Chain A
Amino acid sequence: MAKPQAIELSELERDALTELANIGVSRAATNLSEMMGRQVFLSVPAVAIVTNDHAAQILQMQEANSLVAVHQAFVGDFSGRVLLIFPETNSLALVRAVAGGDLPLEDIIELEQEALAETGNIILNGCLSAIANMLRRSLSVSLPEIVRGSGPDLFELPEADAEDVVLFLYINFSVNDHDIRGYIAMLMDLSSLESLRHLLRELIQRTIDEIPAVTHVA
Chain B
Amino acid sequence: MSYKVLIVDDSKLARMSIAKLLAALQPEWVWVEATNADEAMARFAENGADIALLDFNMPGRDGLALASQLLSLKPDMPVAVISANTQHEILARTEQIGAAFLPKPLTQQCLSTFLASAKQRFQASV
Interface residues of A (CB under 8 A from B): 11-12, 15-16, 18-19, 22-24, 26-27, 29-30, 33-34, 39-40, 42, 44, 130, 134, 176, 203-204, 207-208, 210-218
Known: A207-B16, A207-B17. A15 touches B57 (CB 8 A): no
Could you tell me which residues of chain B, from 6 to 41, have a CB within 8 Å of some CB in chain A? 10-14, 16-17, 20-21, 23-27
Known: A207-B13, A215-B112, A217-B116. A22 touches B25 (CB 8 A): no
Asked whether, in the complex, the Cβ of B115 is within 8 Å of the Cβ of A26, the reply is: no
Asked whether, in the complex, the Cβ of B104 is within 8 Å of the Cβ of A15, the reply is: no
Closest to A33 in B: B87
Inter-chain contacts of B89 with A (CB < 8 A): 33, 39, 176
The yes or no answer to B65 lying at the interface (CB within 8 A) is no
Given contact pairs A26-B85, A27-B85, A214-B25, a sample of 11 additional A-B residue pairs in the complex whose CB atoms are under 8 Å apart? A19-B13, A22-B57, A26-B84, A30-B85, A30-B87, A40-B87, A44-B10, A176-B89, A208-B20, A212-B24, A215-B112
Q: Complex formed: what's the CA distance from A186 to B83 in Å? A: 21
Inter-chain contacts of A176 with B (CB < 8 A): 89
| Contact residues of B: prevailing secondary structure | helix
Interface residues of B (CB under 8 A from A): 10-14, 16-17, 20-21, 23-27, 56-59, 83-90, 104-105, 108, 112-113, 115-116, 119
Inter-chain contacts of B25 with A (CB < 8 A): 212, 214-217
Asked whether, in the complex, the Cβ of B116 is within 8 Å of the Cβ of A19, the reply is: no
A39: contacting residue among B26, B83, B87, B112, CB under 8 A: B87
Inter-chain contacts of A29 with B (CB < 8 A): 85, 87
Inter-chain contacts of B87 with A (CB < 8 A): 29-30, 33-34, 39-40
A-B contact pairs, 13 of them (CB 8 A): A15-B11, A15-B12, A15-B13, A16-B11, A19-B14, A30-B85, A39-B87, A42-B57, A42-B85, A130-B84, A207-B13, A208-B16, A214-B27
Inter-chain contacts of A39 with B (CB < 8 A): 87-90
A198 to chain B, nearest CB (A): 16
Q: Complex formed: what's the CA distance from A130 to B84 in Å? A: 9
Inter-chain contacts of A26 with B (CB < 8 A): 56-57, 83-86, 104
B13: contacting residue among A12, A40, A42, CB under 8 A: A12
Asked whether, in the complex, the Cβ of B13 is within 8 Å of the Cβ of A23, the reply is: no
